[in-house]
Amino acid sequence: MKRRFLIVLCSVLLLAFTQSAWSTEATWLENIDQAKAIAQKDNKTIFINFSGSDWCHWCIKLDKDILSKQEFIDYAEKNLVLLKVDFPKRTRQSKELVAHNEALARKYNVRGFPTVVLLNSQGKQVGVTGYRYGSVADYIDHLQTLITQ
């Protein structure tokens, strides 16, 4: 009985470790206050992605070509706090999340999608961009230019 328990426990731990070690998904927050607290604590830039994730062609392309790539995820893990401000058409959101997202879009004067707003660790806007043609490395270089201006 003890041996069986140990085998099951080791299997579960191994599975949990391998899934977390090889995860190819970034952690996206949905709350600006949480993002600001983490950015200030870790001295990171906040990357706000204003998106229409299920209908906007360029938003989907930005996610597919850049944001979901391991090179970007690795860069983001070290340098960014990722905040997704989504305006989907087919996915339901809570009234609170809709109101939060609309307030952020007004605050940062978002006129189209995708819009990426960069805030320093103190919450001050340091740059605005969107989808750009090129590689993930090109996009990261562009972000670095905006952040260090």
pLDDT at position 25: 85
**Are residues 28 and 86 in contact, defined by beta-carbon separation less than 8 angstroms?**
no
pLDDT at position 149: 87
CA angle 110, 116, 117 (to 5 degrees): 75
Q: Spell out the residues 6+ positions from residue 109 whose beta carbon is closer than 8 angstroms to its own.
A: none
pTM of the entire structure? 0.83
pLDDT at position 9: 41
pLDDT at position 8: 38
Q: Spell out the residues 6+ positions from residue 11 whose beta carbon is closer than 8 angstroms to its own.
A: none
pLDDT averaged per 10 residues in sequence order, the chain, 149 residues? 48 44 78 98 98 98 98 98 98 96 98 98 97 97 96
pLDDT at position 3: 55
Phi and psi, residue 90, nearest 5°: -100, -15
Q: Which domains, and CATH codes, for the chain?
A: 26-148 (3.40.30.10)
